[in-house]
Amino acid sequence: MRVLAIAGVNVRRMLRDRSSFFFVFVLPLVLVLMLGAVFGGATASRLGVVAPSTSLAGSLVAQIENEPSIEVIRYDSEKAMVLAVERGELEAGLEIPANFDEMSQDKVELGFVATNLQEQIELRSVVEEAVAGQNAVLRAAGFTVEQGVSTYDQALSNAQSERSKVEGIDVVTSSVGKPYSFTLGGQFDLGAQSQLVLFIFLTSLTASAALIESRTLGVSLRMLATPTPMRTILVGETLGRFGVAVVQGLFIILGTWIIFGVNWGNPVATGSLLVIFSLVSAGAAMVMGSVFRNVAQASGVGVLLGLGLGALGGCMVPLQVLELFAPTMYTVAHITPHAWALQAFAEIVQSQEGLVAILPNLGILLAYAVALLAIATWLLRRSLTRA
């Protein structure tokens, strides 16, 4: 019971501390909202179009508008459209010349502008496909006119009518391997996972100040003067740090689920990951609380270390991005427990896996926790006995 009493004091101290309430409970949700609003979710690519009010030009634009992945925005002038692309308001721009419908020309040049190579490739392929489809209709109409069967307008109308009657072919696709998880999930899912891991660890490190206060104010020594064994104090302080991490983690999970509809996947797997990562965070907090001698020192180093390890471990930039563009940094990131936790979340949420799939990650995180708690126990025991 004394163990639970010591742990309960630490948790209640955090809940009653008004100065840390914003950083522990409010700030994580605010960051999830901001990350989801800016980076989350799949949105249609914006294509600016400058086109004359003619039949063929209108038909080409309508065909592009039917593509669900593209949002067509019309402009009155090429200058305004290009400026919008340069400002990032559009992913690309398309200019259809005023003489697009004239039959006397053998070749028509369309203007296309984009600042991003990937967007250029994707949007340009859609435009080229639409132009190729329209070109097939025009060539069929031209051939009919050459044969003297009908006038051009009638031939064009017949070609468009017959093209709409042609049945398409069924294309079956299959994916090989696993898709990159940062392209999947809901708008706020990825941000919620990263902020959960970041803030549990960061808050635990800064909460080590409470352990330092207990030592410097003599609270721990007075407990030793009572019939309270050393192991009870050690376990109680550890459970206190663990309780702080779990309370904050549950708040973030439930808060993002209720407010933003974040999918946390299999509850057993997510709960197990939360518990073990909270143990890792508690172990790190106990080490800091045993090493440093004043609160200011521990708070400064805790924030620096928490943010630094979080950034290295994938809380700022998704691990899958590092894997694609910086393989060396992806490998280095796995020296942190954050990377293993986020990798496990990718399995749970994006790949819809259960507890069995993340057992290797949980095993590695548990090894982190055991090592940190062992070191912390030795350091704190030595600190208290020397005092």
Q: Which residue has the higher pLDDT, 244 or 7?
A: 244
Same domain, 80 and 197: no
How many domains does the structure of the chain reveal? 2
Tens digit of each residue's pLDDT (9 = 90 or more) over 257-316: 999 899 999 999 999 999 999 999 999 999 998 888 888 888 888 899 999 999 999 998
Does residue 375 surpass a pLDDT of 80?
A: yes
Residues 227 and 363 in one domain: yes
Q: Do the domain assignments include residue 141? A: yes
Token pair of 298 as six digits: 């521990």
DSSP of 246-314, one letter per residue? HHHHHHHHHHHHHHH------HHHHHHHHHHHHHHHHHHHHHHHHH-SSHHHHHHHHHHHHHHHHHHTT
Of 100-114, 160-174, 219-233, 248-262, the one with minimum mean pLDDT is 160-174
Give the list of residues 6+ apart from residue 345 with CB closer than 8 angstroms, or none.
Answer: 193, 197, 265, 270, 273
Same domain, 376 and 271: yes
Residue 306 belongs to domain spanning: 2-40+186-386
62 plus 31 within the same structural domain: no
DSSP string, 19-34: HHHIIIIIHHHHHHHH
> Do 61 and 139 share a structural domain?
yes
Determine, yes or no, domain membership for 177.
no
Residues 84 and 207 in one domain: no
Q: Say whether pLDDT at 41 is over 60.
A: no
Q: Is residue 114 domain-shared with residue 141, that is, in the same domain?
A: yes
Which one is predicted more confidently, 73 or 325? 73
63 assigned to some structural domain = yes
Domain end among 119, 146, 162: 162
Share of the chain above pLDDT 70, in %: 80
Give the contacts of 265 (CB within 8 A, at least 6 positions apart). 345, 348, 349, 352, 353
- Note whether residue 123 is domain-resident: yes
Residues 315, 290: contact at Cβ < 8 Å? Answer: no
Residues 195, 105 share a domain? no
Is pTM beyond 0.85? Reply is no
Residue 180 lies in a domain: no
Domain membership flag for residue 219: yes
Domain boundary (146, 162, 178) is at: 162
Question: Which tokens belong to 54?
Answer: 């003619």
CATH of the domain at 135: 3.40.1710.10
Residue 171 lies in a domain: no
Q: Is 18 exposed, middle or buried (0-12, 13-18, 19+ CB in 10 A)?
A: exposed
Higher-scoring residue by pLDDT: 129, 143: 129
Nearest residue to 33 via CA among 155, 239, 189: 189
Residues 127 and 199 in one domain: no
Cα-based distances in Å from 131 to 100, 106, 108, 139? 11, 14, 11, 12
Read off the tokens for 106: 């053998």
Q: Is the pLDDT of residue 79 over 50?
A: yes
In a domain, 221, yes or no: yes
The yes-or-no verdict on residue 234 having pLDDT over 50 is yes
276 shares its domain with 214: yes
Any idea what DSSP says for residue 181?
G
Q: Report how many helices (DSSP H) and strands (DSSP E) the chain contains, helices first.
A: 17, 4
Residue 328 has pLDDT above 90, yes or no: yes
Q: What is the DSSP letter of 357?
A: G
Last residue of a domain, one of 109, 130, 162: 162
282 and 343 both lie in a single domain: yes
Examine the domain organization and report whether 138 and 230 are in the same domain. no
Reading the block at residue 304, the tokens are: 């620096």
Q: Could you read off the pLDDT of 141-200 as tens digits, one per residue?
A: 666 767 776 776 676 666 656 655 544 445 454 555 555 445 556 778 888 999 999 999
Residue with more model confidence, 349 or 15: 349
